[in-house]
Amino acid sequence: MRTMFGYGDIALFSGSGNPELAQEISDYLNEPLNDYDLIEFPNENLFIRLHGSVRGKDVYLLQSMGPPVHRNIMEMLIMIDCLKRDSVGRITAVFPYMAYARSDKKDQPRVPITARLVADMIEVAGADRYITIDLHAGQIQGFFSIPGDVLTAFHLLSDYFLAQPHENSVVATTDLGFAKKGRNFAVKLGVPLAFVEKRRVIDDRHAHAMQIIGDVQGKDVILVDDEVLTGSSIIEAAHILKKHGAQSLKLSFTHALLAPPAAKNLTAVDSITEIVTTNTLRIPPEKQHPKMTILSVAPLLGEVILRAHEGRSVGELFNE
Amino acid sequence: MRTMFGYGDIALFSGSGNPELAQEISDYLNEPLNDYDLIEFPNENLFIRLHGSVRGKDVYLLQSMGPPVHRNIMEMLIMIDCLKRDSVGRITAVFPYMAYARSDKKDQPRVPITARLVADMIEVAGADRYITIDLHAGQIQGFFSIPGDVLTAFHLLSDYFLAQPHENSVVATTDLGFAKKGRNFAVKLGVPLAFVEKRRVIDDRHAHAMQIIGDVQGKDVILVDDEVLTGSSIIEAAHILKKHGAQSLKLSFTHALLAPPAAKNLTAVDSITEIVTTNTLRIPPEKQHPKMTILSVAPLLGEVILRAHEGRSVGELFNE
Amino acid sequence: MRTMFGYGDIALFSGSGNPELAQEISDYLNEPLNDYDLIEFPNENLFIRLHGSVRGKDVYLLQSMGPPVHRNIMEMLIMIDCLKRDSVGRITAVFPYMAYARSDKKDQPRVPITARLVADMIEVAGADRYITIDLHAGQIQGFFSIPGDVLTAFHLLSDYFLAQPHENSVVATTDLGFAKKGRNFAVKLGVPLAFVEKRRVIDDRHAHAMQIIGDVQGKDVILVDDEVLTGSSIIEAAHILKKHGAQSLKLSFTHALLAPPAAKNLTAVDSITEIVTTNTLRIPPEKQHPKMTILSVAPLLGEVILRAHEGRSVGELFNE
Amino acid sequence: MRTMFGYGDIALFSGSGNPELAQEISDYLNEPLNDYDLIEFPNENLFIRLHGSVRGKDVYLLQSMGPPVHRNIMEMLIMIDCLKRDSVGRITAVFPYMAYARSDKKDQPRVPITARLVADMIEVAGADRYITIDLHAGQIQGFFSIPGDVLTAFHLLSDYFLAQPHENSVVATTDLGFAKKGRNFAVKLGVPLAFVEKRRVIDDRHAHAMQIIGDVQGKDVILVDDEVLTGSSIIEAAHILKKHGAQSLKLSFTHALLAPPAAKNLTAVDSITEIVTTNTLRIPPEKQHPKMTILSVAPLLGEVILRAHEGRSVGELFNE
Amino acid sequence: MRTMFGYGDIALFSGSGNPELAQEISDYLNEPLNDYDLIEFPNENLFIRLHGSVRGKDVYLLQSMGPPVHRNIMEMLIMIDCLKRDSVGRITAVFPYMAYARSDKKDQPRVPITARLVADMIEVAGADRYITIDLHAGQIQGFFSIPGDVLTAFHLLSDYFLAQPHENSVVATTDLGFAKKGRNFAVKLGVPLAFVEKRRVIDDRHAHAMQIIGDVQGKDVILVDDEVLTGSSIIEAAHILKKHGAQSLKLSFTHALLAPPAAKNLTAVDSITEIVTTNTLRIPPEKQHPKMTILSVAPLLGEVILRAHEGRSVGELFNE
Amino acid sequence: MRTMFGYGDIALFSGSGNPELAQEISDYLNEPLNDYDLIEFPNENLFIRLHGSVRGKDVYLLQSMGPPVHRNIMEMLIMIDCLKRDSVGRITAVFPYMAYARSDKKDQPRVPITARLVADMIEVAGADRYITIDLHAGQIQGFFSIPGDVLTAFHLLSDYFLAQPHENSVVATTDLGFAKKGRNFAVKLGVPLAFVEKRRVIDDRHAHAMQIIGDVQGKDVILVDDEVLTGSSIIEAAHILKKHGAQSLKLSFTHALLAPPAAKNLTAVDSITEIVTTNTLRIPPEKQHPKMTILSVAPLLGEVILRAHEGRSVGELFNE
């Protein structure tokens, strides 16, 4: 491996959030994960002690912001402080999924913009760069003043569907905020686009009605989104799509949050025939199911880390 | 006018970008615009000299970021520096339209995020707060670490249509990035939603085709967006909507950029019967037309300035 | 209540960490705790929405950094961001116990200084001031560049013992890092000082021996510390003190971390006759015991908040 | 070309302000100017897209702050943001002339210090270093906290006059703020010094009178300054110098602002026999004239860029 | 005294640098100087302890940067830290003379810009504003990003000469960097201007020659400068002025650095008939002399402090 | 010497505080000290001019913070500014003793935390890293946000005693704040621990009494501390220790502040048989005495500089 000008050798560290993905990246790069002690005291306080010096090194710190979310964020920040104070050459925080990314704007008064707070915390801890995948909104990149590589699983996911028969498909989305990215998916597959729109029923605070905008009659619907949490909207959408004559339903999304019992409920819906997602978040065995296809982002992250370390272009290969 | 704790009297200043709007706000508040010298040297460098002390005052600096864009931005920043160095109590930059707001993410490699740069410039110059209307993306509020009031002309515009017969209407948008806000408009009017989708034609870099998603047959279409620049997409959309049986077309958007000959071209389309917009940007007489209805944001801005000065709630009245 | 120059009315907010203490402070000040929504999404992400405007107010945000530690820290930071973006006048973060305060120096290579990180996080989120009690090391105050009031429960605790018969007492400590503060306690009571010293046994990594430095024969020992976590050192100390002829043992410490089963184990030691501590951390009923005396810090915090709001001296009353 | 430790290869970029000078520097260094897209939207907003990755590179961004001044400044800042976000190794902003340098102090109340604002804008955008020539005041270097190379065209200009017969010359200046630099010029040539002093006439706000301090009788006067904008003072000075017996007049200045019709008017004065200046600012053909000698700063800038890139001393060769 | 919005009462503190001037200001304002302990340990380290709370107050810290320079600077910075950490409302550092102001630019390679460093130190310590008099260069105000009031003793000094017979005077300066300010002096008095120019003799590193530019024959010369340190240039100038027929010589300067034996040497020159200066720096009795007139800046500083505290205009009265 | 990635060659500079130690370090590294001009003007202002370019170099600036303390601090800061503005690659400030380290907390109201101020000053001047020895409190490392190597003379001192007969020794300390470090010393030597406790006598502000906690009868006492200033506590302790039967007394401390007449007084005490210290501070000949053993920290600092420059681990060898 060539060495980037200005930094020492590469050094990989993995937080405790997603060790399987970290191992895959380590294997891809043929670089070991560095050992360190991580102690949790009985008062929950974490303590970190590196086993060897990182002076001058080009460190990539792999951490998930999945559950336990706050502990994982804090673990990442403490690790950054620890690396900085050991006079590391450069720290790149690699978090394939960014927590709090949906708290990215004040769409009502008197709410926080927590994603900016998280970005500031990462910067104040001492990170020099960051790498992440499919931010909930591209604008979040502007919350950072340090540079970063915001990658996408779009190619991974869309290529998967492109390799299957898809002539009869229609791409749909249940979130109008994802309409533009849904369009890109439809364009890539060369198929039409439809929307599932949800409106609250007047005079009933808790009821709402769903409508289909566009044509799904007799179609194989591919429902796309960036993340799935409870899956309840999708299950409702599955019913309304079926009622409008959709033939089958596949799901495609990057971040498998899948709060229990989302995985169980989704796979229980007959019309949902396949769930395609990635391992940006750890998907434990109990959430997995034969209907679920998990594509690995490890080669993507590994290649980007390699290129970042060697000072080669990332954009030419991976951005949407 | 009550005085906000911690600051002196209110003081209004207007940049040279939109003096008419500034005057309307001044009238609303019954507070004069403060005089100052603005000199442009033959080398284009601007020079500012306040006529009186602003020590301790609660200043609202009203400036447009419309054309000449870069001069207006610089004028605003110089003014902020000048006010800061005169020991002002608090500076609120009031720019109803934020330039460069569309440069808010890296949707391709090797491009800037200029909206963050503009936010940083406003902060480094010394502004304490800001007030603006309908940012292109709500996330841009997170580009600022200073607090701000991001208002919306949504109520102004939707109330206007609500006051007209609209039972036969359908709300549409040509920009899928605006789909969610289009939905809010449709919900407010209680009418259906449709989309105009534009795709590039394969094997022809410059050609593209438009499609309608949703039903517009026999409908009065209200095309909504946050800003209109050249109007060319709208004109295309007008033709395709007509072809799909739309009965009439009205436009609704907040920021009337209307680069010549946008105003002329849009008003020349027969099926476009009304263009409803606001004066966040100065609309000179030569761009105006009988088909155009310009709603003033002055009462909105004036009321928010008053409440900000007096320390009363802004959110309870104006946010979307 | 007088109003501090430069800020609006006082406004109290309580995080979810120690609502009982917050209520006591609210009662002391005769000021209600402000309502707000705190939502935890199924992906653990927290969301906050204030019920009313805090524009210009002098906010005191009461939050515990006790368990769940990381969630409570994040909740506090999000709340600060939310308050800041609602144009609050001033935010004082009130955390009676500061988590991670023991991670305050690099006493071995390649470890973090997490207490500085926590201080930086509080500052970057937007706090203007902070109030806390008995920092593990006084130097941590220097980790903040914002001003703060670092109070002490020393008077509360020592006055309690002073009011009891104490002529036959000796003050001891098991932590030599607390020797100086132990001395202050002994001076206040006018009694001698002793130390329990613990050394690792050579050639056995896990064994250690304890020694008494000073004289405890026939004495009533008051063992003092800033916090008690597992209590295991104290239980060992109780045995060695008894072996050296101590007549009885009382404990005095500010922060009752008391990780289970610390409370149960400590109260089970016969020679420990009383445990005197405070409510800087929430002590749930299952940790309480008749041997335990919990002194409330609410009047101390309440009085300091009042004085800070009114711009009166804090130091003249409460510092050690 | 050797590579500076810590950075990758050199990469030159030219803004649109002075492409001819950029090309000369490129030729001097035998390094191509990198291509990129610069798009100006109809709303004047600029958009930049680099053609290739600059990851880790040592970039020199050549931009003029000449007219259109504000557009050129903004273009430079956007470019810096773009380069930074593409993870460049180091960005050196090279602006041979710094706009707003005359707004460098508050010599009256309630005015800005725009030069500091410009320096802050360059830093907040992300520049690591800067290179410029003949700042209006040397102190402006202190407005930057990033390091920079502030070069001078003094040697270029004075060597030019030294190579001509100059025994009968006297150096003069019309701006007493330039007196010290005028002295250096006179010392270099070994000739006397004189001053043209301008005073406002009492009781007439717009009239003023000029006087000569020192002896110019029968002399060839070399009038020196850092920049010439309208030339009106010089033309007045030319008349008064002639009246005091000066034999001929030559001009020497670094920055040829020459707002129209300065070039025409100056060259029309008979007693002005030569105008010696540099190309720190683009001098379009219509401003050029046979009386005008334009010395190129390209070798100076090229050599300094080379030495900065290779980590060799700049000071030993070029500073005044 | 009215109270400035946003801050509590005024509080004056005096460092140990110039207690006489501080007392005069205190008398002018009829506000006492606050007491505090200043301890110098045997290792020279200083320690400060305020006698009472400054919470919320509007503090003016009066300190000289005269000798012992570094101790006085450090004392001022420690005081600022102390005030900040006691939750002061606002700190204005008042240093009538700014040390290191002559180190304000890199006029040769590889030298510092210490004046910027001093400005940064004052800001990082926590000052909110500053007040000073006659900075060596006006540009130094741009070294600060906090606002300040840079006053001038110009009116004090020139009014003094205006009140004397001055029709036969000529204003001169020995420092060409002071030429412009010398001109202002001459204009105020309505008298001509002359210069004393000093050039190094070629081939002799230590010798130099002086020349007079302008006419001093039979004139009463007023030699003006911002500060006088050793006086050696002035003594040389006195000789050459006399040789050129000057009738008498008076000195006028703001900052009386007067390193021994400057005062003695200057007053010993017969042709120097009066030395007019101010008390921005403490002038101990042993430096005073009947030829010396010391004008007090206390009313100027006192009035500006009063106006700053009350939020009234400073510029309208005092700036040059 | 290998070159650290990212920086050029090593370059050593020595301030004027401790030239002998700097020379020893230079000898250890076989690297010359770089020449530069240091001028002190008659107004005490310092001026620095480097003799050659440091562009890109990895500079280690060796400076003592011993007396004259404030001049030495300022000299160090000016030097850092000078190096930064000459585009140095990296600046490491090496100050073996940190002044003001005892002003590290607010143990009473209304006092400063000067150690944090000093840390901020070093950072704002532009240092990238720092190296120091035995900070008064380990927490001070957290006052810096830049990384640093905080070394210890513990091994140097304790190894010295280990090499002597020490079976009959007891380690004692007079400062309870040093109790924990005293314990480490005792553990290293495998000997017991004792304390000298000093209490103020009630009703007499200036009197105090000393007591011994632990057993010193017939023992050779080694009194340990981090620094010795006046020595008066030690002399008192010597008497009380003798009274309690101590056989002999040796002193061990890192920083020999030794304000006159400390050295004379200490060596005059008969029971004090040896004083072991280091040269972190310059010990002039007049303070030296046959009873005094001065261990050099030059090899420690030299080796750490070497490893820092080459990017090798420091922690594995030197930390406590």
**pLDDT, tens digit, 9 for 90 and up, residues E290-318:** 999 999 999 999 999 999 999 888 876 65
pLDDT confidence tier of residue D19, bands split at 50, 70 and 90: very high
pLDDT confidence tier of residue C4, bands split at 50, 70 and 90: very low
Query: Is the same domain home to B172 and B291?
Result: yes
Query: Is the same domain home to B314 and B284?
Result: no
Residue from the list F141, F145, F311 with its beta carbon closest to the beta carbon of A55: F311
Check residue D54 and report its DSSP letter: -
- Using the beta-carbon criterion (under 8 Å), do B55 and E313 form an inter-chain contact? yes
Secondary structure in 3-state letters for B139-205: HHHHHCCCCEEEECCHHHHHHHHHCCCCCCEEEEECCHHHHHHHHHHHHHHCCCEEEEEEEECCCCC
- Look at residue D3 and tell me if it is in a domain: no
Beta-strand relationship, D36-40 and D46-50: antiparallel
Residue from the list F105, F141, F320 with its beta carbon closest to the beta carbon of C138: F105
**pLDDT at residue A272 tops 50:** yes
**pLDDT at residue C313 tops 60:** yes
* Closest C-alpha to B129, from B55, B34, B61: B61
Q: What is the pLDDT of residue B317?
A: 63
C71 touches chain E (CB under 8 A): no
CA-to-CA separations, A304 to A1, A133, A152, A307, C95, in angstroms, rounded: 13, 11, 12, 5, 42
* Closest C-alpha to D281, from D29, D48, D68, D45: D68
Paired strand residues for D277: D294
Query: Is the same domain home to E166 and E121?
Result: no
Distance from CA of F63 to the nearest CA of D (A): 23
Backbone angle region of F74, left / alpha / beta, with phi > 0 → left and psi within -120 to 50 → alpha? alpha
Active site residue E287: no
Q: What is the pLDDT of residue B269?
A: 97
Chains A and E touch (3+ CB pairs under 8 A): no
What are the tokens at A84? 């900085």
* Closest C-alpha to F26, from F72, F65, F60, F68: F60
C-alpha A29/C-alpha A208 separation (Å) is 49
Query: Is the same domain home to B203 and B171?
Result: yes
For residue range E243-287, list pLDDT tens digits in order.
999 999 999 999 999 999 999 999 999 999 999 999 999 999 999
- Look at residue A4 and tell me if it is in a domain: no
Chain mean position to CA B78: 22
D113 touches chain E (CB under 8 A): yes
Q: What number of other Cβ atoms are within 10 A of residue C24's Cβ?
A: 18
For residue range E39-69, list pLDDT tens digits in order.
999 999 999 999 999 999 999 999 999 999 9
- Using the beta-carbon criterion (under 8 Å), do B55 and E6 form an inter-chain contact? no
* Closest C-alpha to B301, from B6, B64, B8, B38: B64
F276 touches chain C (CB under 8 A): no
Residues of chain E neighbouring B126 (CB-CB closer than 8 A): 145
Distance from CA of F197 to the nearest CA of D (A): 50
* Closest C-alpha to C5, from B6, E83, B58: B6
Give the DSSP H or E segment for E227. Answer: strand E220-228
Q: For residues F111 and F74, is the Cβ–Cβ distance under 8 A? A: no
- Look at residue B4 and tell me if it is in a domain: no
**pLDDT at residue E6 tops 90:** no
CA-to-CA separations, E45 to C53, E50, E78, F67, F142, in angstroms, rounded: 48, 17, 11, 9, 21
Residue from the list B6, B148, B307 with its beta carbon closest to the beta carbon of C89: B6
Query: Is the same domain home to A88 and A15?
Result: yes
B146 touches chain D (CB under 8 A): no
Q: Which of A34, A36, A44, A228 to mutate to test the interface with C (most CBs of C within 10 A)?
A: A44
Residue from the list A43, A73, A124 with its beta carbon closest to the beta carbon of C69: A43
- Look at residue A1 and tell me if it is in a domain: no
Give the DSSP H or E segment for B11. Answer: strand B10-14
* Closest C-alpha to F161, from F248, F237, F251: F251
Q: For residues F231 and F265, is the Cβ–Cβ distance under 8 A? A: yes
CA-to-CA separations, D314 to D300, D306, F58, in angstroms, rounded: 10, 9, 18
What are the tokens at D290? 């046979």
**pLDDT at residue A1 tops 50:** no
For residue range F145-157, list pLDDT tens digits in order.
999 999 999 999 9
- Using the beta-carbon criterion (under 8 Å), do D43 and B108 form an inter-chain contact? no
Find the angle CA(D205)-CA(D209)-CA(D212) to the nearest 5 degrees: 150
What are the tokens at A42? 């009985």
Give the nearest chain C residue to E90 (CA atoms).
Answer: C6
pLDDT confidence tier of residue D317, bands split at 50, 70 and 90: low
- Look at residue A5 and tell me if it is in a domain: no
pLDDT confidence tier of residue A208, bands split at 50, 70 and 90: confident
Q: Which of B98, B139, B146, B201 to mutate to test the interface with A (most CBs of A within 10 A)?
A: B139
Residues of chain E neighbouring C308 (CB-CB closer than 8 A): 55, 87
CA-to-CA separations, C311 to A213, C6, C58, C315, E56, in angstroms, rounded: 61, 10, 12, 12, 6
Q: Three-state DSSP class for D37?
A: strand
Burial pattern E54-84, b for ≥16 Cβ within 10 A else e, equals: bbbbbbbbbbbbbbebbbbbbbbbbbbbbbb
Q: Which of F7, F85, F90 to mutate to test the interface with D (most CBs of D within 10 A)?
A: F85
| Cβ within 8 Å of C, B 295-314 | 307-308, 311-314
- Using the beta-carbon criterion (under 8 Å), do A43 and C125 form an inter-chain contact? no
Query: Is the same domain home to B198 and B99?
Result: no
Q: What is the pLDDT of residue D193?
A: 96
Residues of chain B with pLDDT under 50: 1-4, 320
B203 touches chain A (CB under 8 A): no
Alpha-carbon dihedral F132, F181, F227, F296, rounded to 10 degrees: -60
Query: Is the same domain home to B127 and B14?
Result: yes
- Look at residue D124 and tell me if it is in a domain: yes
Mean confidence (pLDDT) of chain E? 94
Q: For residues E307 and E315, is the Cβ–Cβ distance under 8 A? A: no
- Using the beta-carbon criterion (under 8 Å), do A311 and D7 form an inter-chain contact? no
Q: Which of B55, B77, B81 to mutate to test the interface with E (most CBs of E within 10 A)?
A: B55
Q: How many domains is chain E built from?
A: 2
Q: What is the pLDDT of residue A316?
A: 66
Q: Which chains touch B (3 or more CB pairs under 8 A)?
A: A, C, D, E
Query: Is the same domain home to E177 and E94?
Result: no
Q: For residues E248 and E220, is the Cβ–Cβ distance under 8 A? A: yes
ipTM for this prediction: 0.95
Q: What is the CATH number of the domain that holds B23?
A: 3.40.50.2020
Q: For residues D185 and D167, is the Cβ–Cβ distance under 8 A? A: no
| Cβ within 8 Å of B, E 5-64 | 5-6
Phi and psi, residue F229, nearest 5°: -105, -75
- Look at residue B5 and tell me if it is in a domain: no
- Helix%, strand%, coil% for chain A, nearest 5: 35, 25, 40
For the residues C45-54, what does the mean pLDDT come to?
A: 96
Q: Which domain holds residue C217?
A: 154-295
Mean confidence (pLDDT) of chain A? 94
* Closest C-alpha to D258, from D289, D237, D236: D289
Residues of chain A neighbouring B177 (CB-CB closer than 8 A): 179-180
Give the DSSP H or E segment for A257. Answer: none
Query: Is the same domain home to B184 and B233?
Result: yes
Could you tell me the sign of the dihedral formed by the alpha carbons of E127, E132, E137, E141, in that order?
positive
Task: Write out the DSSP string of D199-227.
Answer: EEPTT-SS-EEEEEES--TT-EEEEEEEE
Query: Is the same domain home to F165 and F121?
Result: no
Query: Is the same domain home to D179 and D268?
Result: yes
B199 touches chain D (CB under 8 A): no
Q: What is the pLDDT of residue A318?
A: 57
C-alpha C65/C-alpha F185 separation (Å) is 35
C-alpha D249/C-alpha C73 separation (Å) is 74
Residue from the list E4, E141, E149 with its beta carbon closest to the beta carbon of B56: E4
- Look at residue B31 and tell me if it is in a domain: yes
For residue range A54-72, list pLDDT tens digits in order.
999 999 999 999 999 999 9
The pLDDT profile of chain F, 320 residues, written as one tens digit per residue, is 454 456 789 999 999 999 999 999 999 999 999 999 999 999 999 999 999 999 999 999 999 999 999 999 999 999 999 999 999 999 999 999 999 999 999 999 999 999 999 999 999 999 999 999 999 999 999 999 999 999 999 999 999 999 999 999 999 999 999 999 999 999 999 999 999 998 877 667 677 888 999 999 999 999 999 999 999 999 999 999 999 999 999 999 999 999 999 999 999 999 999 999 999 999 999 999 999 999 999 999 999 999 999 988 887 665 54
Query: Is the same domain home to A27 and A146?
Result: yes
CA-to-CA separations, F226 to F188, F229, F254, F284, F286, in angstroms, rounded: 16, 10, 5, 19, 22
